[in-house]
Amino acid sequence: MSATIQTIFDKSQDGRKGIALPPLDVEVDAKIDSAFLREKKARLPQVSEFDVVRHFTNLSNKNMSIDKNFYPLGSCTMKYNPKIAERVANQDGYLNLHPHVITNNFNADVQGSLETIDMLEKSLCEVTGMSAFTTTPQAGAHGEMLGVMMIDKYHKSKGEKRKYIIVPDSSHGTNPATASMVGYEVITIKSDENGAIDFEAFKEKMSHDVAAVMLTVPNTLGMYNKRIKDLCEVAHAYDALMYYDGANMNAIMGVARPGDIGFDVIHINVHKTFATPHGGGGPGSGPVGVNDKLKPFLPDLGIKKEGDLYEFTKGGENSIGKISPFFGNYGISLRAITYMTVLGSDGMKDASSKAVLNANYLRVRLKDYFDVPFGGMCMHECVLSAKTLAKKGVSAMDIAKYLLDFGLHSPTVYFPLIVKEAIMIEPTETENKETIDYFCDTMINAVKLADENPEEFQHYPKTLGVCRPDDTRAIKELDVKFHSQ
């Protein structure tokens, strides 16, 4: 492996062309005022189409991906992305629709897509027990923001300006970040000895100044909080609303419904639970569901069926406004409803059941080799700790790097923050027993190596061409774009 990298810019040759554009078939004197013109061209690389194909094909080979590797990242639900979703979504009838047909009110021209949106909304309502959905948020965090905006307007519509949002200390970072984006202060409640949000501490902090509580069920430790209904009741007694972060929906899909549990507003990460591809970090989509309390505040664009035709609807007078220009990441919504159609009600129940089966099997195989911060059954993910190993000089990060050499992507490490040397493992339901056994065997080998030769870990990974980036240098000697020599 070479020590220096060749970017696409390094492969540029003056005069090389990558594309033939459509011809200029009109004769005009097209002049732009020189004051509006740029003085220097944007120096994009000059390469041939074949150069481009070779370059990016080779780059793709440097990635781990679900299609190649077991990817047990806790909280990310890296399940198999069914190819049928790609075949459906790549049809011309869906790809080439211009969104401004909405502005022109040409609803008759997009009845197919409007029906897919309707199908998705209705299916999500049924799976989650909510009364209405909007598919406009473009990611889970975007959905969280929308949810908190609607909660804010709910309180304001009653003449109240509340100050706080409660989150558990085990929450995903997007929860408190979202609260701040919508102008709220965060109250963090510690977890109890079972990893659940401390009920007494929660009751103590609850007041009429609290706008909402954001929770994940099961929580980020993979544990189902038995007092969740009581929590909802306490909050509702103060008219604080319950927000469900749907990141862990894969554990309870087809088994329990957030709406039944008592949640007022939820978001779903379709790139987790509903198998839309992760794309290297996006695009995802975070549809938001509400009960009747929050319906009046839904965003500006919706659909309804009038007779045989779907029509566009505007938001009510209490709508929070717009967070996306049109229907959000429509292409991703389409993939999600394709998956839900293939899976069906029976498939959904089977998916969550096998997800929980896989996670518990893995937990039992590994519990004697790692610290287990919270004992007992987990749901779709389990959290272990490398606390004891760390005393020998082998950290969770070292385990993570070791696994890479064996064709296994690491689990999530150092999250949730309340567990030292946390290792959060979510196998998902689409992994077979052989793969899970291979993963467990490799993890056990890592523990054995930690006993025999802990210094060896700093050399991992050995087979990927690069090993252990200097993150400090990356910040101190910032290099975030190509500079030509």
Partner 1 sequence: MKKYNEEHEWVEIDGEIATVGISSYAVEQLGDITFIELPEVDSEVSMGDSVAFVESVKAASDIYTPISGEVSEINEALLDEPEVLNQDAQGTFIFKLKVSNTDELDSLMSEDEYKNFVDSL
Partner 2 sequence: MTYTPHTDEQVKQMLDVIGLEKESDLFSSVPSELQVHGIDLPKGLDEFSTFEKFKTLAAKNVTNKTIFMGGGYYDHIVPSAVDALAGRSEFYTSYTPYQAEASQGTLQVLYEYQSMICELSGMDVSNASMYDGASALAESALMAVRISRKRNKILIDGGINPTYIKVVETYLSFRDIEFEIIDVENFKTNRQAVLDKIDESVAGYLFQNPNFFGTMDDFTAIIEKLHEHKALAVISAYPISLGLLKDPGSMGADIFCADGQCLGNYMNFGGPSFGMIATKEKYIRDLPGRIIGRTLDKDQNEIFVLTMQAREQHIRRHRATSNICSNQNLIAVRSTIFMSLLGEEGLENMAKLCFSKATYLKEELSKLDGIEVLNKDDSFNEFVISTPLNSDDLLLKLRDKGFYAGINLTNIDEKLTNKVLVSVTEKRTKEQMDALIAAIGEVL
User: Minimum distance between the CB of residue 397 and partner 1, rounded to whole angstroms?
Assistant: 10
Place of tokens 């696409």: 8
Binding residue (CB under 8 A) for partner 1 from 25, 39, 92, 471: 471
Looking at beta carbons only, is 84 or 237 nearer to partner 2?
A: 84
User: Minimum distance between the CB of residue 245 and partner 2, rounded to whole angstroms?
Assistant: 11
How many other C-beta atoms lie within 10 A of the C-beta of residue 374?
A: 20
Decide if residue 105 touches partner 1 (CB under 8 A): no
Decide if residue 479 touches partner 1 (CB under 8 A): no
The CA distance from 270 to 124, in Å, is: 10
How many other C-beta atoms lie within 10 A of the C-beta of residue 474?
A: 11
User: Minimum distance between the CB of residue 338 and partner 2, rounded to whole angstroms?
Assistant: 6
Nearest CA to 427 out of 326, 337, 350, 359 is that of 359
Q: Which of partner 2, partner 1, none interacts with 158 (beta carbon under 5 to 8 A by kind)?
A: none
User: Minimum distance between the CB of residue 414 and partner 1, rounded to whole angstroms?
Assistant: 8
The CA distance from 266 to 150, in Å, is: 11
Q: Are 394 and 447 in contact (CB under 8 A)?
A: no
Token pair, residue 65, equals 């991906």
Q: Which amino acid is at 108?
A: A
**Residue 447 backbone class (left: φ over 0; alpha: ψ -120 to 50; beta: rest):** alpha
Q: Which of partner 1, partner 2, none interacts with 342 (beta carbon under 5 to 8 A by kind)?
A: partner 2
Q: Which amino acid is at 466?
A: V
The CA distance from 276 to 70, in Å, is: 17
Strand-pair partners of 214: 243
Stretch that binds partner 1, among 16-24, 51-59, 99-107, 466-474 (CB under 8 A): 466-474
Q: Are 151 and 212 in contact (CB under 8 A)?
A: yes
Contacts to partner 1 from residues 414-433, by CB under 8 A: 414
User: Minimum distance between the CB of residue 251 and partner 2, rounded to whole angstroms?
Assistant: 9
Stretch that binds partner 1, among 206-214, 240-248, 314-322, 467-475 (CB under 8 A): 467-475
Looking at beta carbons only, is 86 or 451 nearer to partner 2?
A: 86
Binding residue (CB under 8 A) for partner 1 from 476, 479, 480, 481: 476
Decide if residue 104 touches partner 1 (CB under 8 A): no
Binding site for partner 1 (CB under 8 A): 414, 471-472, 474-476
